Amino acid sequence: MFSFKRLLHCLFFIISSLTAATSAANFYQNVDITWGDNRGKILNHGQLISLSLDKASGSGFQSKDEYLFGKIDMQIKLVAGNSAGTVTTYYLSSQGPNHDEIDFEFLGNLSGSPYTLHTNIYSQGKGNREQRFRLWFDPSKNFHTYSVVWNKYRIIFFVDSIPIRVFNNLEKIGVPYLNKQAMRIYSSLWDADNWATQGGRVKTDWTKAPFTAYYRNFSANACIHSQGSSSSCVSSTKSFMEDDQAWQNYGLDAKGRNRLRWVQKKYMIYNYCTDFKRFPQGLPKECKRSRFL
């Protein structure tokens, strides 16, 4: 017998599916291809971007909007095969010498070797906060989701909803935080064989060009910043009955902290907060507050 409860469940599913489908982000509306002489393309009626790199040039795009806090998600499928020397980036950045920046950089490698995920944070022009990871999957075989939660209290990097890095707001001890400058989203595919793979020892094999990475399912539950007015906090992918503003106070619970520790214990290959040779006068202030920044 078809129960009323089951009917409500079916209606909820149908409405959710329709809402998600009709409000899905469209790259034509959300980004501009900014360089690459047609090596960057928006495809599938705005649902997919391809960025390509050959010996003459790479390519890239940027968001039309600037954001001041938000939850940003992007699915990326990286360059397959021998990607040595290439760098695929996905990051937020403001402009100017004292800029803020939140970085995902994917450093290519020889076929059969894992990608290196390089992360960094700049606050008011100061960077040097690198953490590097080996991913626990092949990021060139399928799309995976790379996310940033950025609120007034912390920045959290996620891979497939698993937290890999946290940078807390520690202004009270003199560490500048990213809370004053709006940032755009940028992505690019470019040649960096002078440093990207094994410190530049492995060069780009141009016989494998063009190299191509793909992007889809972009979403920005975020505060859009407009010059001369206050930010407007909106969702580009709002779905039925979803709490789109939860990111504004989001922090890791016990389960999230355990997953963070698992990633950092098993897959982190470099942490600036343990590099005493690099900082002979003492580690940066934020490093003293937590092992898992």
Q: Which of 101, 130, 171, 286 is catalytic?
A: 101
Beta bridge partners of 277: none
Q: How far is CA 122 from the centre of its chain?
A: 14
Closest CA to 140 of 119, 156, 158, 117: 117
The C-alpha atoms of residue 38 and residue 172 are separated, in whole angstroms, by 47
User: Is 130 designated active site?
Assistant: no
Helix (H) or strand (E) holding 185: strand 184-191
Q: Is the Cβ–Cβ distance between 268 and 262 less than 8 Å?
A: no
The C-alpha atoms of residue 72 and residue 218 are separated, in whole angstroms, by 8
Number of helices followed by number of strands (H, E) in the chain: 3, 16
The C-alpha atoms of residue 190 and residue 187 are separated, in whole angstroms, by 10
Maximum pairwise Cα distance, the chain:
74
| Alpha helix (H) residue ranges in 199-276 | 254-266
User: Is 101 designated active site?
Assistant: yes
For 42, other C-beta atoms within 10 Å of its C-beta total 19
Tokens 């410190």 sit on residue:
199
Q: How far apart are the first and last CA of the chain?
A: 54
Q: Which of 105, 171, 242, 286 is catalytic?
A: 105
Beta bridge partners of 99: none
The catalytic site residues sit at 101, 105
